[in-house]
Amino acid sequence: MNKERDYSIDIFKGLLVIGMVYCHILQFFSDPMVFTGAQRVIDVVNIVTFTGFVFSFGYVGQLAYYNKPFKAVYGRMLSTALKMLIAFYISGTYYRLFLDRKPLNWSTIKPILILQDIPGWSEFLISFSLIMLVGLVLFKPLTWLVERKFKFWVVVLLLLITTYLPYDKVTVNQLGLLIGTRKFASFPVVQYFPYYLIGMYAARYKLGWNWKFIVGSLAASGIFITYVIAKQGLPERFPPSIYWILSSAFLLYVYYLAAKMLVTSMKYTSFLRVLGQNVLLYLLLSNIMIFTLKHNQEQLLLSSLEGFWFDMGVLLLISFFIRITISTKFNTKVALKSEGVNH
């Protein structure tokens, strides 16, 4: 199985992890009024990161799931979605306890469990979970669709039109997670799903340097840039406008091609690959660390450079946790084997 693994997508996800944790650190511990460069970093990372992860889910799904029988993979897909859901529960609860200083009781936890309350900086985790569940529910239609290129791109375009849904009328929180709402910040599944499909497409047809994708991604991001110039500001992100959804197309393709190039230097990309292979753990533990530190160090202020080194420190610390966990498991197995204990 390892021989078949596409390490480029691990590198791709690793780059996204670095960016997302860096962005969160700057959002909590930097002030754009003091450090003007911080907001530019935040904007760029916001543009590419979530769509990048959605793309990677589709890419990995095509390689690991969609080319296999449904019965053989549905359990793994469901397990992945549940892990992301639990990560949301943990992160969301931490946010409410440490940053909102709410009491640890049922009235605090219950709304999070039933997705009535979507705490900040945790909403991406529940969206990850729901995207995986939709990919599972639509397993057979998606498998059929990716084999029919014309119909595939028609569906992608139709999904983009959903950014014009009347968000104001969506008042049910759980529905807002799927199709968008103005009640709270979210990454609605339907509007971002084109990137899941394009990820499937990239894996299915072994996408590399392709002039059509260069032109298409430039055109999509060009629409976003034209909007920014005309309006002198960014388009709506929560809920997403079509300009926001299109914004990441070119940067995402650049990330993808960069990962394809970096995979040739396996010796020097081991850290990125570890990040990419443990995305959920890094994002969850980094959130916990950031929330806890903000709770105790409210006045901490970091420049963009200091934030980057803090980012590296957090990621290296989590990497250490992973390493000692793996070492402990390995040593336990060796000890049991030497004692003649079989499982």
**pLDDT tens digit string along 294-334?**
999 999 999 999 999 999 999 999 999 998 887 666 555 65
Q: Has residue 4 got a pLDDT over 90?
A: no
Answer whether residue 224 shows pLDDT above 90. Answer: yes
Q: What is the pLDDT of residue 245?
A: 98
Question: What pLDDT, on the 0 to 100 scale, is given for residue 2?
Answer: 46
* Phi-psi sector, 152: left (phi>0), alpha (psi -120 to 50), beta: alpha
Q: What angle, 0 to 180 degrees and rounded to 10, lies between the N-to-C axes of helices 279-296 and 123-137?
A: 160
Q: How far apart are CA 268 and CA 262, in angstroms?
A: 8
Give the DSSP letter string of 108-129: HHHHHHTTS---TT-HHHHHHH
User: What was the pLDDT predicted at 266?
Assistant: 82
pLDDT at 343 over 50: no
Kindly report the pTM of this predicted structure: 0.94
**pLDDT exceeds cutoff 60 at 336:** no
pLDDT higher than threshold 90 for residue 5:
no
CA atoms of 191 and 174, how far apart (whole Å) = 15
Provide the pLDDT confidence category of residue 337 given band limits of 50, 70 and 90.
low
Strand (E) or helix (H) holding 94: helix 70-94
For the chain, give the mean pLDDT: 94
pLDDT for the residue numbered 341: 52
pLDDT tens track for 170-209: 999 999 999 999 999 999 999 999 999 999 999 999 999 9
